[in-house]
A and B are shown apart, each in its own frame.
Chain A
Amino acid sequence: MVAWRCLYDRYAPLVLRFASALGVPAEEREDAVQDIFIAVFRSLKHFRGEAQLSTWIYRIAARHAIRLGRRRRARETMRVAMMKEKPPIVTDPSERSTQLATLDRMLGKLPPKKRAVLVLFEIEGLSAKEISDVVGCPENTVWSRLHHARSEMVKAARRMAS
């Protein structure tokens, strides 16, 4: 249990940051981190050391976050269909939170696969090789997704800025 605790202490902040950047909403983040670590501990016996432990954890986290995102989008579609009007537009006085909220909105416009690559590269600092291990695609695909994700992000930012 001590080893598990060390592993948790080391990777929980990373997993939380990753889940946030992949669009897991705040109220679901705690549960998401919990589920990811339960999955990590239960699958630890299958970890063969072929990739770095962090890469392996990111892989589990990415799968979980994408699955959550799919469920959330389905719920959102239902909600929008049932709503008469949009919720009020709200602003946050904290500059830091506003910038993060803006980033989340921009990331939210990216397709999940491109988003995962951009987040892993730009926020988590993984190499293209490591990302290809996490998302399960060739390294060249990682570079191409990253290129598209970057240009879509800048376009989204320009639309927001204007």
Chain B
Amino acid sequence: MKWLDEPQDEAERLVREGLDLAKQRLGDELMHRRVWAKVAETAETPEPRSTRRWLWTSAAATLLAAAGLFAYVRIYRVTSLPSTPTVATNTPPSTAPLPVAPAGTAVGSETEIVPLESERGPGNVIRAREGERLRVALGGGATAELEEKSAMTWDSQHRPTIQRGIARLAVPHQPPGWRFSVTAGPYVVTVVGTKFEVRVSNRTVGVDVTEGVVEVWRNSHSTRLAAGESWHGPLYPDEAASTSESASSVSSAAPERPQPLPAAAKPLSSATARSLQEAETALQAGDAAKAIEILSRTAQGTGPAAENAAYELGHITRYNLNRPRQAVALWDKYRNRFPNGLLRTETDLSIVETLSQMGEVQAALAEANTFLTHHPNSERRLDVQRLAERLRAQAATEAK
């Protein structure tokens, strides 16, 4: 019999359930494969010999001495100059000048926030108040510097989301096949490793690239931006499209480059938008059942809202209710209803991953092969390819 198998009170129940859940925390397939790639690569290289270590130590000591000398010279120069306003001390070094906060705003001291993995989820909002600047660790070495009066959260796929204001992001180089994504309004900005700034105002979303290359996505369309390039688009593209049809007066939101926007979709009615908002609020409050109830109603309609709701139903069932089989059935329903839907790629991918996590080797392999045929240009192609290889090996072992 296990310890606390018959809990006497709420506290004991909390401990027992927590321990039982912790036993299931085994990580995901993709992560294990990613780590293996790094382990295999490193383990194959010969172990450094002591002479080599000695050489490295000497080199490090020399570098350290040089850095010390350099710091000393710099401090000497700074203290001999007239005093200047304080700038964030740990702004990432960059060859290109980073954009500065608007004139007249006193930037206060910078606070660093390191949210836990469990805290990097929907509903958790980090706000920088007036005169405050926050540096938020996003995991994987990526950081976001939130300017004052800015806010960020995480979407249902645990991607950082800039809600409003200015965020400067620094993303270290990602492993092959992996991309870091951040969302802003209806856009997804994906990067391999770079520094860039995302601005979200009441009506527009802007991206300025300082280093590297980023892609701004909306549904299945994208625009690639190199260092020094900027892009901006409307925060509510559907609304902007309908306004421009009637009045052609959105010149302030005109893009500097061709926009990655698909043909104007039907704008959401205020009732639908309200329903989606209610569903999101319910989800953030932990009431998945209510969110499902609202989304089920929305999914019965037509247009992008119904499509989005149909996809989200599967997502909530999978990740909030932890019912993978039911989630696959819901996503399958989505595919039948929206065979060329805007979220089709995401849905196919979700099904592959979920089936694989469920241990349904043959079904996952079939889905992975179909994914590779249907989405040859997907950014997740490489991951799915590796997963398919793994599943094939597993299937062969099982057959023996």
A interface list, Cβ under 8 A from B: 1, 4-5, 8-9, 12-14, 16-17, 20-21, 25-27, 29-30, 33-34, 37-38, 41-42, 79, 82-85, 87-88, 90-104, 106, 122-123, 150, 153-154, 157-158, 160-161
Contacts and interface: CB of A to CB of B under 8 A. Distances in A.
A77 to B, nearest CB: 13
Interface stretch (B28-36, B159-167, B193-201): B28-36
A160 B118 contact: no
A157 B16 CA distance: 10
B111 A157 contact: no
A83 B114 CA distance: 12
A38 B18 contact: no
A79 B116 CA distance: 15
Nearest to B34: A30
Contacts of A97: 118, 121
Given A21-B22, A83-B112, A95 B286 contact: yes
Interface in B191-219: none
Contacts of B42: 34, 38
Given A8-B36, A21-B22, A102-B18, A27 B117 contact: yes
Contact of A99 (B11, B18, B44, B137): B18
Contacts of A84: 109, 111
Contacts of A92: 118-119, 121, 123-124
Interface residues of B, number: 59
Nearest to B118: A101
Contacts of B319: 94
B14 A102 contact: yes
A42 B17 CA distance: 37
Contact of A123 (B19, B44, B122): B19
A93 B320 contact: yes
A104 B21 CA distance: 11
- Specify the main secondary structure of chain A where it touches its partner: helix
Interface of B: 3-4, 9-12, 14-15, 17-19, 21-23, 25-27, 31-32, 34-36, 38-40, 42-44, 47, 109, 111-127, 137, 139-141, 283-286, 288, 319-320, 322
Given A1-B40, A92-B123, A93-B122, A26 B116 contact: yes
A145 B43 CA distance: 36
B21 A106 contact: no
A83 B112 CA distance: 8
A103 B117 contact: no
A103 B126 CA distance: 23
A70 B126 CA distance: 27
6 contacts: A12-B32, A34-B42, A82-B112, A103-B15, A158-B11, A160-B11
B283 A93 contact: yes
B359 to A, nearest CB: 13
A94 B121 contact: yes
B19 A93 contact: no
Nearest to A103: B18
B38 A123 contact: no
B149 to A, nearest CB: 15
A20 to B, nearest CB: 5
A100 B17 CA distance: 9
Contacts of B283: 93
Nearest to B115: A90
A20 B39 CA distance: 19
A95 B118 CA distance: 11
Contacts of A160: 11, 14
Contacts of A16: 25-27, 31-32
A97 B10 CA distance: 18
Contacts of A37: 35, 39, 43
B159 to A, nearest CB: 15
A98 B127 CA distance: 22
Nearest to A36: B39
A112 to B, nearest CB: 17
B15 A154 contact: yes
A104 B111 contact: no
